[in-house]
Amino acid sequence: MVKKQDTIYALSTPPGKSAIAVVRISGSKALDYIKKISSSMPTKPNTSTLNKLITKTGDVIDQTITTYYKAPKSFTGEDMVEISMHGGNAVINKFIDVFKKNKKTRLAEPGEFTRRSFENNKLDLTQVEAISDLVNAETEYQRKQAHSQLEGNLTLKTKEIYSELTNVLANIEAMIDFADEELPTDLLNNIKEQIENISNEIYNILSKNSKGRKIREGFIVGIIGKTNTGKSSFINNVSNQEIAIVSNKPGTTRDAIESYIDIRGLPVRFFDTAGIRKHRNTVEKIGIKKSKEISKEADLNLVFLNKSSEIDDFKNVSNPIFIQSKYDIRKKPTTINDITNISSKNNYGIKSLLNRIFHQLSDKNFTENTYISRERHIECLKNTIKYLEKSKQKKNYDVFSEDIRLAIKEISKIYGKTDIENILDIIFSDFCIGK
């Protein structure tokens, strides 16, 4: 049975050869246990020593740098020991073997160190999410966003709303107390105005920050159009590898092929799709259906054409950039403003197309600090608004205040601990062992 008070250990660096590997141990027995297998364990908190790890039989496992953190001043808030050893497989395996034999400690579950940190109030929920996002960040924008969240910017903003709402609640309570006496006439209007302002503030956050989730998950760019127009050649060009089959036979691509590309720090998921024409068989039909679905979901669609007159066939496509490829062999380049000329063979126009994609996906709100980056945040904010809207319809003050209480509960779910047991497992399932 997994217990919260167990002392846990795990390799916190990836397995495989490296200069150093770090093992963490957290819990009340961490210090005692490591002392038993150490030549010179640090005695003062937050200090490191050059320390040999030695088995019971006197076998030296490795020479390490061992750091001791005393509760509550550690990542988990518990006593912790961090051991930096040489990152060879045999060293790591020997160390883990020694640990496995001892009954006082057990291997940590995925995310268990961070979970303890959360449970010991070292991190709030948005910061836990930020740690997961930092570990998974692949691009500069993802790093910046996760870092801002780890700094507490999202929590700060939502706590502001929380305190504004508690203020409203206090005013309503005052009204209930006043009920039999003469009411201050403008108090109710004042409360309604406060609620209106808070709702607008939340709407504002929701609309301004719709890009936060995209930065975390990646923007979707569909590569669609007629067959044989050079879609697969384009995805291969921008991916720098042959991920899609290219041939001069129309209808080559059937499945959607994804490639993740970092455009100036922006995470972008390109999807090469089946060319659109009157299908020849069931498999092609399924491919074309998929291609249409992707184009509906996409933040941008690169529409590849054989000739400019085909634009009319794609009138209903959202956020399109029309493209004619094979510029290197076309006798008459397209001069229509709406169409971008490129060549996947000699790279003509590719760089400026990627720049254009960058500018269309990003916008001026990107540098703002308070990004909401997950569906969970959006849901909490929407639910808060829902209760605020509901409260406006209430005549009875008791019921009115109940709606405000529910709104307060929703907003505090973004960073807090109430009513979130069910979502903790979802959040921590993103973590790896040792984090």
Ligand X SMILES: Nc1nc2c(ncn2[C@@H]2O[C@H](COP(=O)(O)OP(=O)(O)OP(=O)(O)O)[C@@H](O)[C@H]2O)c(=O)[nH]1
Residues binding Mg ion (CB under 5 A):
231-232, 252-253
Q: Which of 15, 34, 25 is nearest to 108 (CA)?
A: 25
- 60-69, strands of its sheet edge to edge: 47-54, 60-69, 80-87, 18-26, 7-11, 105-107
Region of 50-58, 144-152, 308-316, 340-348 interacting with ligand X (CB under 6 A) = 340-348
Q: Does 344 bind ligand X (CB under 6 A)?
A: yes
Give the Cα separation of 411 and 420 in Å (integer): 12
What is the number of other CB atoms lying within 10 angstroms of the CB of residue 167?
Answer: 12
Q: Does 253 bind ligand X (CB under 6 A)?
A: yes
Region of 23-31, 224-232, 288-296, 366-374 interacting with ligand X (CB under 6 A) = 224-232
Q: Does 228 bind ligand X (CB under 6 A)?
A: yes
Alpha helices in 344-420 (DSSP H): 350-361, 375-392, 397-412
Cβ 314 to ligand X, closest distance in Å?
A: 14
What is the 8-class DSSP label of residue 226? B
Cβ 251 to ligand X, closest distance in Å?
A: 5
Q: Does 12 bind ligand X (CB under 6 A)?
A: no
Site for ligand X in 99-158 (CB under 6 A): none
Is the Cβ of residue 166 or residue 306 nearer to ligand X in the bound state? Answer: 306
Q: Does 15 bind ligand X (CB under 6 A)?
A: no
Q: Does 343 bind ligand X (CB under 6 A)?
A: yes
CA angle 5, 9, 12 (to 5 degrees): 130
Chain-centre distance for alpha carbon 185: 48
Q: Site for ligand X (CB under 6 A): how many residues?
A: 23
Q: Does 275 bind ligand X (CB under 6 A)?
A: yes
Is the Cβ of residue 238 or residue 380 nearer to Mg ion in the bound state? Answer: 238
Region of 11-19, 50-58, 321-329, 390-398 interacting with ligand X (CB under 6 A) = 321-329
Cβ 351 to ligand X, closest distance in Å?
A: 14
Q: Does 233 bind ligand X (CB under 6 A)?
A: yes
Is the Cβ of residue 43 or residue 347 nearer to ligand X in the bound state? Answer: 347
**Sheet strands (E) in 70-119:** 80-87, 105-107
Looking at 42, 218, 222, 230, which residue binds ligand X (CB under 6 A)?
230
Cβ 82 to Mg ion, closest distance in Å?
A: 50
Q: Does 328 bind ligand X (CB under 6 A)?
A: yes
Give the Cα separation of 79 and 418 in Å (integer): 26
Is the Cβ of residue 15 or residue 250 nearer to ligand X in the bound state? Answer: 250
**Helix/strand number for the chain, H first, E second:** 14, 12
The H or E element containing residue 207 is helix 186-208
Give the Cα separation of 193 and 324 in Å (integer): 54
Q: Pairing relation of β-strands 339-341 and 320-324?
A: parallel
Is the Cβ of residue 42 or residue 287 nearer to ligand X in the bound state? Answer: 287
Q: Does 354 bind ligand X (CB under 6 A)?
A: no
Give the Cα separation of 153 and 49 in Å (integer): 36
CA atoms within 13 A on the CB side of 319: 18
Partner that binds at residue 140, options Mg ion, ligand X, none, CB closer than 5 to 8 Å by kind: none
Region of 41-49, 102-110, 208-216, 320-328 interacting with ligand X (CB under 6 A) = 320-328
Cβ-Cβ contacts under 8 Å for 73 (sequence gap 6 or more): 45, 46
Is the Cβ of residue 125 or residue 323 nearer to ligand X in the bound state? Answer: 323
- Could you list the residues that contact ligand X (CB under 6 A)? 227-233, 246-248, 250-253, 275, 304, 325-326, 328-329, 343-345
